[in-house]
């Protein structure tokens, strides 16, 4: 049983499989995952049932009526032209299946999905099935079959996701007459896996295939469906790109409806939001990624699995430099971001495991370099947006929960909410002076932030400039950072001259950039932001002056372990599922001012859950991966959102949403990691430097005295 989600599943041995499925050849099988509550439905029956329900609730369904165009009117409404006349509407949903991309083209909207074909085969009647009194479980056999095997009435059904030569169709245009088109079976393509399936199910081996089904399925670049608003126009929604439309359809469309009606879904839709792709996701790239996705369908989804095809997309100015220094990159909103650095002869690639491996050792070294010496990181992937103009202050003040920094150079950490009072995103804001504000947040929010600002501008005179691609961002962190930076500047870096949470435009190594004294690592350090051209010379100069101080590169994995020690919640904790009190970020909220979503966020009579910070005993083997159940006296009271080893404190640290009554410092709990409960305790403050003396420079000032 996956107790965190209440999902019925268990790992079982071959004897269990044999007792439930006596016909399966279990050669080489060590175990299986049993999910007894799964089922299958007749798709047309379900569709008709849903249509009937919709009609009962007042929906009008017009069948046999092709839409021929979708255009936005100057009023903002949409005009859908159809074979049976025009329809004017406030909102339009593109649920065009394999036609979705070309339907999007009518309105200038890029719908990143590619049609790939998939086969299943139905055998003649299986004599052994005739006497069966119950249905056999569906078997998914990733390794040998790369597909699924189940009963179809009294026949056998074998579905194959071949692991070579995936087939793209209708790359340019899906013919209108192609609806539900089935292609001729391509036995050559699927044969090795089909043969393996027959080897697994010997009772099928002598039977003929009475039906082959070879149809097209939509694949977005990362395999997740496209559910939600688009970047290019307002009130245009996607509900497409679904490979498992029957399985996913009900939940996803319920959330889409909530999003359209209430302004936010109830669950985090970040993984499905069409705006997770930018304009870089052109047709050529979609095609490459869809093929990759198809081939990964029956692969093991290891933690931090890195999809490598079609990369690099957006290279930072440091890409080649860092690559030559061992960087292993991950892609985030098209940006290549270093995740960790290989050293010596080590293979410069991902090393996958559910347990600790060599990568964790390197991450621990990078972590310690930042804590004990100085580390430098390419953070170009950050979303970087400038809001300027006479009403910039007015607009931002209305949208953020914290107070906007009043003075030039002031910095604040704050949150923007949607109108239901749930968190849209967390960000840092720098007052650049003269009515200019610089907003930075996680890369995945780039389009979301642009839309949020644009949609909530109510006649204010502001200019919103997306600097995410033409500006760089880099960070220098650690107790030796001041000495390293001092060699490249003439300005004073004394604490009194350049205090914590202040930003200043200055010349560093001959480059005019903004330096922001803040730290996601919880150390003395700076972030640098400015035009891209400045990045490489700046990095080279700092790298050079950092040599005597033992400067090291670090990546996003170390950044994560560092922030976990500092009790800084991140994108996994701060989602549209939670309000400000639930996220436990009230210290960044000014309840004496008004802001979008305030009443709903702060007005809850009772919190259903709250974000707790836990320390968990480490076993040196497995540090968890997120989503672990949290137990109090054996009862599930929540689950983790982020979990990571705190390399400086020697304990595993986690954020978890749990029942509020359990969130008191010192409360003993258990967290189930790799199926075994471990002792955990609620912490009331950061595990490392709880008073933030290090980033404020108090620790180094005291050491110097």
Q: Which is nearer to ligand FAD, 185 or 369 (CB)?
A: 185
Rounded to whole angstroms, the Cα distance separating 411 from 404 reads: 8
Eight-state DSSP code of residue 487: T
State which of residues 103, 139, 380, 616 lies at the interface with ligand FAD (CB under 6 A). 103
State which of residues 23, 78, 99, 657 lies at the interface with ligand FAD (CB under 6 A). 99
Q: Which two structure tokens, joined as six digits, stand for 690? A: 């709880």
Q: Does 168 bind ligand FAD (CB under 6 A)?
A: no
Q: Which is nearer to ligand FAD, 157 or 538 (CB)?
A: 157
Q: Does 116 bind ligand FAD (CB under 6 A)?
A: no
Helical axes 556-565 vs 358-372, angle rounded to 10°: 60
* In the complex, minimum distance from the CB of residue 286 to ligand FAD, in angstroms, rounded to a whole number: 16
Binding mask 304-323 for ligand FAD (x = CB under 6 A): --------------------
Q: Which is nearer to ligand FAD, 247 or 510 (CB)?
A: 247
Q: Which is nearer to ligand FAD, 67 or 203 (CB)?
A: 67
Short-list 383, 113, 104, CA closest to 233: 104
The backbone region for 424, taken as left when phi is positive above 0, alpha when psi lies in -120 to 50, beta otherwise, is: alpha
Which listed range, 16-24, 95-103, 195-203, 618-626, lies at the site for ligand FAD (CB under 6 A)?
95-103
List 632's β-bridge partners, or say none.
635
Which listed range, 97-105, 131-139, 363-371, 617-625, lies at the site for ligand FAD (CB under 6 A)?
97-105
Q: Which is nearer to ligand FAD, 176 or 302 (CB)?
A: 176
Binding mask 234-253 for ligand FAD (x = CB under 6 A): ------x-xxxxxx------
Which listed range, 14-22, 89-97, 361-369, 645-653, lies at the site for ligand FAD (CB under 6 A)?
89-97
Q: Which is nearer to ligand FAD, 119 or 422 (CB)?
A: 119
Residues 29-68 that bind ligand FAD (CB under 6 A): 66-67
* In the complex, minimum distance from the CB of residue 235 to ligand FAD, in angstroms, rounded to a whole number: 19
* In the complex, minimum distance from the CB of residue 98 to ligand FAD, in angstroms, rounded to a whole number: 6
| CA distances from residue 70 to 87, 96, 220, 237 in whole angstroms, order as listed | 9, 12, 22, 12
Q: How many C-beta atoms lie closer than 10 Å to residue 85's C-beta?
A: 9
State which of residues 97, 220, 310, 695 lies at the interface with ligand FAD (CB under 6 A). 97
Written as one string, the DSSP assignment of 592-644 is TS--TTHHHHH--SS-S-EEEEEEE---SS----S--EEEETTEEEEEEEEEE
By CB under 6 A, the count of residues binding ligand FAD is 22
What burial letters (b/e) apply to 60-82, b meaning 16+ CB within 10 Å? eeeeeeebeebebeeeeebebee
Written as one string, the DSSP assignment of 173-238 is ---GGGTT-BPPP-HHHHHHHHHHHHHH-GGGTTSPEEEEEEEEEEE-TTSS-EEEE-SSSTTEEE
Rounded to whole angstroms, the Cα distance separating 592 from 590 reads: 5
Q: Is residue 106 within a helix (H) or strand (E), and if so which, with residue range? A: helix 100-106
* In the complex, minimum distance from the CB of residue 246 to ligand FAD, in angstroms, rounded to a whole number: 3
* In the complex, minimum distance from the CB of residue 378 to ligand FAD, in angstroms, rounded to a whole number: 38
* In the complex, minimum distance from the CB of residue 116 to ligand FAD, in angstroms, rounded to a whole number: 9
State which of residues 213, 260, 413, 602 lies at the interface with ligand FAD (CB under 6 A). 213
State which of residues 86, 179, 470, 540 lies at the interface with ligand FAD (CB under 6 A). 179
Q: Which is nearer to ligand FAD, 103 or 395 (CB)?
A: 103
* In the complex, minimum distance from the CB of residue 339 to ligand FAD, in angstroms, rounded to a whole number: 32
Q: Does 217 bind ligand FAD (CB under 6 A)?
A: yes
Q: Which is nearer to ligand FAD, 185 or 427 (CB)?
A: 185
10-19, Cβ contacts within 8 angstroms, sequence gap of 24 or more: 10/34, 11/675
Q: Which two structure tokens, joined as six digits, stand for 262? A: 């209430």
Q: Does 137 bind ligand FAD (CB under 6 A)?
A: no
8 A C-beta contact, residue 338 and residue 323: no
Q: Does 215 bind ligand FAD (CB under 6 A)?
A: yes
Q: Which is nearer to ligand FAD, 102 or 306 (CB)?
A: 102
- Give Cβ neighbours of residue 318 (< 8 Å, ≥ 6 apart): 378, 380, 474, 535, 536, 539
Q: Is residue 55 within a helix (H) or strand (E), and if so which, with residue range? A: helix 43-56
Which listed range, 12-20, 212-220, 364-372, 518-526, lies at the site for ligand FAD (CB under 6 A)?
212-220
* In the complex, minimum distance from the CB of residue 217 to ligand FAD, in angstroms, rounded to a whole number: 5
Q: Which is nearer to ligand FAD, 169 or 681 (CB)?
A: 169
State which of residues 4, 114, 118, 264 lies at the interface with ligand FAD (CB under 6 A). 118
Q: Which two structure tokens, joined as six digits, stand for 294? A: 């198809």
Q: Which two structure tokens, joined as six digits, stand for 628? A: 């672990």
Written as one string, the DSSP assignment of 220-245 is -TTSS-EEEE-SSSTTEEEEE--TTH
Which listed range, 208-216, 305-313, 365-373, 544-552, lies at the site for ligand FAD (CB under 6 A)?
208-216
Rounded to whole angstroms, the Cα distance separating 250 from 418 reads: 24
Q: Which is nearer to ligand FAD, 241 or 334 (CB)?
A: 241
Q: Which is nearer to ligand FAD, 42 or 179 (CB)?
A: 179
Rounded to whole angstroms, the Cα distance separating 434 from 429 reads: 15
Q: Which is nearer to ligand FAD, 95 or 392 (CB)?
A: 95
Task: Using CB positions, name the residue nearest to ligand FAD.
Answer: 97
Q: How many C-beta atoms lie closer than 10 Å to residue 433's C-beta?
A: 13
**Binding residues for ligand FAD, per CB under 6 A?**
66-67, 95-99, 103, 118, 120, 179, 213, 215-217, 240, 242-247
């Amino acid at each position: 049983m996956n107790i965190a989600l209440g999902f019925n599943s268990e790992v079982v041995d071959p004897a269990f499989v044999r007792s439930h499925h006596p016909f399966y050849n279990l050669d080489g099988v060590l175990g299986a995952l049993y999910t007894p509550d799964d089922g299958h439905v007749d798709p047309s029956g379900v569709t008709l049932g849903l249509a009937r329900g919709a009609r009962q609730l007042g929906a009008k369904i017009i069948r046999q009526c092709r839409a021929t165009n979708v255009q936005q009117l100057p009023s903002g409404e949409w005009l859908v032209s159809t074979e049976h006349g025009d329809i004017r509407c406030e909102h339009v949903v593109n649920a065009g299946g394999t036609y979705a991309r070309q339907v999007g083209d009518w309105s200038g909207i890029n719908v990143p999905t590619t049609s790939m074909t998939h086969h299943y085969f139905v055998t003649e009647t299986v004599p052994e099935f005739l006497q069966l009194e119950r249905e056999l479980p569906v078997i998914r056999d990733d390794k040998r079959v790369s597909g699924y095997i189940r009963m179809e009435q009294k026949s056998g059904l074998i579905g194959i996701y071949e692991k070579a030569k995936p087939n793209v169709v209708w790359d340019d245009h899906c013919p209108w007459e192609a609806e539900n088109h089935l292609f001729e079976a391509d036995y050559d393509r699927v044969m090795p896996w089909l043969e393996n399936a027959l080897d697994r199910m010997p009772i099928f081996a002598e039977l003929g295939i009475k039906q082959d089904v070879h149809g097209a399925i939509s694949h977005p670049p990362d395999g997740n469906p496209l559910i939600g608003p688009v970047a290019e126009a307002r009130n245009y929604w996607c509900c497409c790109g679904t490979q498992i439309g029957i399985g996913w359809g009900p939940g996803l469309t319920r959330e889409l409806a909530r999003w359209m009606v209430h302004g936010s879904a109830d669950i985090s839709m970040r993984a499905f939001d069409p705006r997770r792709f930018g304009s870089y996701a052109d047709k050529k790239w979609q095609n490459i990624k869809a093929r990759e996705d198809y081939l990964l369908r029956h692969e093991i989804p290891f933690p931090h699995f890195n999809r490598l095809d079609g990369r690099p997309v957006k290279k930072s100015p440091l890409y080649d430099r860092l690559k030559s220094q061992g960087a292993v990159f991950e892609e985030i909103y098209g940006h290549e971001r270093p995740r960790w650095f290989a050293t010596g002869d080590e293979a410069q690639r991902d090393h996958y495991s559910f347990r600790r491996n060599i990568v964790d050792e390197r991450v621990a070294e990078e972590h310690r370099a930042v804590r004990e010496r100085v580390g430098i990181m390419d953070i170009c992937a950050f979303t970087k947006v400038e809001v300027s103009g006479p009403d910039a202050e007015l607009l931002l003040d209305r949208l953020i929960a914290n107070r906007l920094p009043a003075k030039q150079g002031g910095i604040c950490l704050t949150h923007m909410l949607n109108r239901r009072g749930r968190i849209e995103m967390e960000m840092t804001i720098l007052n650049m002076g003269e009515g200019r504000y610089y907003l930075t947040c996680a890369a995945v929010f780039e389009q979301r932030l642009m839309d949020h600002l644009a949609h909530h501008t109510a006649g204010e005179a502001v200019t919103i400039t997306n600097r995410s691609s033409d500006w760089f961002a880099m960070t220098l962190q650690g107790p030796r950072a001041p000495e390293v930076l001092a060699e490249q500047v003439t300005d004073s870096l004394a604490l009194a001259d350049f205090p914590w949470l202040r930003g200043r435009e200055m010349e560093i190594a001959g480059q005019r950039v903004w330096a922001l004294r803040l730290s996601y690592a919880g150390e003395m350090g700076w972030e640098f932001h400015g035009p891209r051209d400045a990045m490489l010379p700046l990095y080279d100069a700092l790298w050079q002056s950092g040599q005597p101080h033992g400067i090291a590169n670090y990546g996003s994995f170390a950044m994560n372990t560092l922030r976990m020690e500092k009790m800084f919640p991140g994108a996994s904790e701060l989602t549209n599922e939670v309000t400000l009190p639930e996220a436990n970020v009230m210290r960044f909220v000014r309840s004496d001012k008004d802001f979008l979503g305030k009443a709903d966020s702060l007005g809850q009579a009772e919190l259903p859950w709250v974000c707790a910070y836990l320390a968990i005993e480490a076993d040196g083997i497995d540090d968890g991966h997120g989503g672990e159940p949290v137990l109090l006296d054996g009862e599930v009271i929540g689950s983790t959102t982020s979990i990571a080893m705190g390399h400086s404190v020697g304990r595993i640290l986690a954020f978890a949403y749990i029942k509020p009554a359990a969130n008191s410092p010192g409360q003993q709990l258990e967290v189930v990691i790799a199926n075994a409960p471990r002792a955990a305790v609620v912490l009331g403050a950061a595990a490392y430097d709880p008073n933030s003396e290090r980033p404020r420079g108090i620790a180094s000032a005291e050491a110097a005295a």
